[in-house]
Amino acid sequence: MKETWRTRLEAALKDAGKSKREVSLAADLGPGYVHSILAEGKEPTIENMLRVCAAVGTEPIWIIFGVPISKDADDLLKLWKTAAPETRQGILSILRSHKAA
């Protein structure tokens, strides 16, 4: 069976020991929401997928793309999101100069 975001989400639910209903309610999406995206093929919005991932306690990038992300990379992305544009440019300049060296 090909791994998809649905199979990864089902595995994350199992690993977390949480039911579909429990996650749906924790994500404030109605009691049958996770069942509807897993069993009925409903396509979630990205906002709802983020809420479901938070309720499961898993990284959205892993569920959606199947790409594991380290804690450091996750921290960096969260900091990047809130950084001022000039800070982002400074960071990119440092990383680019490091790559060239």
pTM of the full structure: 0.72
Max CA separation in the chain (angstroms): 54
DSSP-derived secondary structure letter, 70: -
Classify domain 5-65 at the CATH class level. Answer: mainly alpha
What's the pLDDT tens digit per position in 38-53?
Answer: 999 999 999 999 999 9
**Mean pLDDT, the chain, integer:** 92
Q: Is 84 exposed, middle or buried (0-12, 13-18, 19+ CB in 10 A)?
A: exposed
